[in-house]
């Protein structure tokens, strides 16, 4: 029997694959490949819907020959299979197929005619033997496609001055035997019908197909490693064979310019991650803890139960003097009531992250010295967050200088000698970085860019007092960092992590 492809066609409806043109931009919907509208059947069988053996005289039960989309196994959630995670029209949580298309249009519009973009997927990495790490898609690949599977290659080609481009997606062909062992993947038909590739094909045939895809291209933009120690990599060999005379250039600057400014949908995903992460941290402050490990496990559980994807990064749960180690992630020590615990732990939603740090007394009550130093950091943070708006005309670098000066003033009032290079010891890291799909988002995007609406950053002043005679005795060994994720607005900041309390009175009230 032929299992009808109708479900995949129906699947395309919520992705608006073929809307009626209502504007010049929509005159070219996601796919212009006519073969993608009526693809070949997914599965074929020799059985009819009434009987499987015509020679048998035994009556056979009649079963439906149509497979619903919700019964198909994909390599990642789609609306039909996971309506509790995705809304109609979304390819990934919070992000629609339309937005992914618009991202590709913006990228290709920034490139000259006869240009190609080549994006290899991330590689599945193995912990030992056949034991693999959780797969995480390469961020630029994910940003432009929404496709989250390994062994894939995305190719975008631009052949004119208009918004028109061609989207090739090479991925794994469906293989029931292999999928039985390794879990499902989406396959070639889904790459076309769900992820809106104009052309999809088996990644195993990419060597023979890529030359045609790149025919007529004069410039290729990619960040894939082409050589290593002067020798072509596997991908370098593939590209040199497919387009031997075509020049290559870095893709990162063009994608960074897009990724650095977040859409409202992206900001909402980060707000969801910040909201639920903040609530989990506030709940953690209510409770006494004896071990760093328990506190870390509690936050992971809270993130998962709230609907987040889990941790956005390996958390820091640092009790006492371990808070002086900026990226302490062993999380295997004990927690003592007389000390602070510094927790740097944000959650992720739809692959978008939040970065958040809180420091609080394990006992629930601040000592006078703890309170004074904590409030010094908090005042500096509040002041810098208030400048996270386009109208302030600041950069991350200028915010760092402003924050450092504010910390310097606060510390002098507490008796610290901050002359010379001493602030570099007490405040050794930058006040902030960009956030988004990655914790340190858009690598290479400079911190001297004037912040504008849509930039998402962290503000995270910290003071880390070594245990030596250079510093006032009451504060030695204290490490404090207070960090929030912030969406830069036009006239005001939007704090994405506001549910995590940070005022001294609020923290202490949680134990009352």
pLDDT band at 52 (very low <50, low <70, confident <90, very high): very low
What is the rounded CA–CA span in Å between residue 1 and residue 41?
Answer: 10
Q: Tell me, what's the pLDDT at 6?
A: 33
Question: Which pair of structure tokens corresponds to residue 189?
Answer: 């038909």
The answer for residues whose C-beta is within 8 angstroms of residue 474's C-beta and 6 or more apart is 369
DSSP classification of residue 440: S
Q: What is the pTM of this model?
A: 0.87
- Distant-in-sequence, close-in-space partners of 298: CB < 8 Å, separation ≥ 6: 280, 284, 287
pLDDT reported for residue 468: 95
Only one residue has tokens 């035994």, namely 58
Q: What are phi and psi of 101, to 5 degrees?
A: -60, -45
Mean pLDDT check: name the lowest of 50-54, 67-71, 115-119, 149-153: 50-54
Provide the mean pLDDT of the chain: 88
Task: Tell me how far CA of residue 201 lies from CA of 7, 81, 188, 285, 512, in angstroms.
Answer: 20, 24, 6, 52, 62
The pLDDT value recorded for residue 512 is 85
The full DSSP string for 444-492 is T--TTSBP-TTBEEEE--EEE--SSTTS-GGGTT-EEE-BEEEE-BSSS
Residue 230 is predicted with a pLDDT of 77
pLDDT over 50 (residue 433): yes
Neighbouring C-beta atoms of residue 245, cutoff 10 Å: 6
Res 40: pLDDT: 34
pLDDT at residue 67, as a whole number: 66
State how far the alpha carbon of 148 is from the alpha carbons of 21, 74, 124, 333, 437, in Å: 30, 11, 11, 36, 13
Structure confidence at residue 229 (pLDDT): 79
Q: In this model, does residue 60 exceed pLDDT 50?
A: no
The tokens of 37 are what?
Answer: 């509208």
Lowest mean pLDDT among 18-27, 90-99, 244-253: 18-27
Q: What is the mean pLDDT of residues 334-363?
A: 98
Greater pLDDT, 279 or 54: 279
What are the tens digits of pLDDT across the range 185-234?
999 999 999 999 999 999 999 999 999 999 999 999 999 988 887 788 88
pLDDT tens for residues 109-134? 999 999 999 999 999 999 999 999 99
Residue 240 has pLDDT above 80, yes or no: yes
In this prediction, residue 511 has a pLDDT band, given cuts at 50, 70 and 90, of: very high
Q: Residues of the chain with pLDDT > 70: what percent?
A: 87
Res 19 pLDDT > 60: no
pLDDT digits (tens, 9 = 90+) for 283-328: 999 999 999 999 999 999 999 999 999 999 999 999 999 999 999 9
Can you tell me which residue has the tokens 């510390």?
A: 411
pLDDT of res. 321: 97
């Amino acid at each position: 029997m032929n299992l009808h492809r109708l479900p995949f066609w129906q699947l395309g409806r919520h992705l608006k694959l073929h809307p009626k043109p209502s504007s010049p931009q929509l005159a070219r919907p996601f796919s212009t490949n006519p073969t993608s509208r009526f693809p070949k059947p997914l599965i074929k069988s020799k059985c009819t819907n009434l009987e499987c053996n015509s020679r048998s005289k035994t009556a056979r039960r009649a079963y439906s020959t149509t497979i619903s989309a919700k019964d198909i196994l994909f390599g990642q959630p789609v609306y039909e299979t996971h309506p509790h995670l995705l809304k109609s029209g979304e390819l990934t949580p919070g992000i629609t197929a339309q937005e992914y298309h618009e991202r590709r249009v913006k990228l290709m519009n920034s490139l000259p005619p006869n240009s190609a973009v080549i994006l290899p997927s991330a590689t599945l990495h193995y912990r030992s033997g056949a034991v693999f790490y959780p797969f995480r898609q390469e961020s630029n690949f994910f940003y432009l496609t929404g496709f989250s599977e390994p062994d894939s290659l995305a190719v975008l080609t631009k052949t004119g001055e208009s918004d028109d481009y061609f989207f090739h997606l090479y991925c794994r062909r469906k293989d029931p035997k292999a999928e039985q062992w390794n879990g499902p993947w989406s396959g070639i038909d889904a790459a076309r019908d769900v992820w809106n590739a104009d052309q999809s094909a088996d990644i195993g045939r990419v060597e023979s197909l890529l030359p045609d895809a790149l025919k007529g291209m004069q410039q290729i933009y990619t960040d894939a490693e082409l050589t290593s120690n002067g020798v072509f990599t596997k991908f370098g060999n593939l590209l040199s064979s497919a387009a031997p005379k075509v020049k290559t250039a870095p893709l990162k600057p063009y994608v960074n310019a897009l990724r650095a400014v977040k859409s409202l949908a992206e900001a909402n995903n980060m707000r969801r991650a910040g909201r639920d992460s903040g609530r989990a941290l506030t709940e953690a402050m209510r409770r006494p803890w004896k071990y760093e490990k328990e506190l870390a496990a509690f936050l992971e559980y809270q993130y998962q139960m709230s609907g987040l994807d889990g941790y956005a990064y390996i958390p820091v749960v640092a009790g006492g003097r371990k808070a002086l180690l900026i990226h302490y992630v062993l999380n295997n020590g004990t927690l003592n009531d007389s000390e602070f615990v510094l927790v740097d732990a944000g959650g992720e939603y739809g692959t978008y992250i939040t970065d958040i740090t809180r420091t609080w007394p394990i006992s629930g009550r601040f000592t006078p010295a703890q309170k004074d130093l904590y409030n010094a950091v908090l005042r500096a943070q509040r002041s810098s967050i208030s400048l996270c708006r386009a109208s302030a005309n600041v950069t991350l670098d200028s915010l760092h200088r402003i924050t450092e000066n504010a910390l310097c003033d606060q510390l002098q009032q507490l008796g610290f000698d901050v002359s010379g290079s001493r602030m570099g010891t007490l405040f050794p890291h930058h006040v902030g970085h960009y956030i988004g799909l990655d914790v340190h988002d858009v690598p290479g995007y400079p911190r001297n860019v004037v912040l504008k609406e849509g930039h998402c950053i962290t503000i995270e002043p910290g003071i880390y007092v070594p245990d030596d005679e250079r510093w006032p005795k009451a504060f030695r060994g204290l490490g404090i960092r207070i960090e929030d994720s912030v969406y830069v607005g036009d006239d005001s900041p939007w704090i994405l992590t506001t549910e995590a309390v940070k005022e001294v009175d609020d923290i202490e009230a949680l134990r009352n």
